[in-house]
Amino acid sequence: MRRGIKISKYHVKVEVKLKPGHVDSEGLTAKEALTDIGYEVEEVSTAKVYEIDLKANSLSEAESIADEMCRKLLANPVKDNYKVEVERSE
pLDDT given at position 17: 98
pLDDT tens-digit readout, 22-58: 999 999 999 999 999 999 999 999 999 999 999 999 9
For position 3, what pLDDT does the model report? 63
- Given a cut of 50, whether residue 15 has pLDDT beyond it is yes
CATH class entry, domain 8-88: alpha beta
DSSP, res 58: S
According to DSSP H, which parts of 1-90 are helical?
25-36, 59-69
Question: Considering the entire predicted model, what is its pTM?
Answer: 0.86
- 85 pLDDT higher than 90: yes
SS3 content of the chain, % helix, strand, coil (to 5): 30, 35, 35
Share of the chain above pLDDT 70, in %: 96
Break the chain into its structural domains and give their ranges. Answer: 8-88
Residues 58 and 60: their CA atoms lie apart, in Å, by: 5
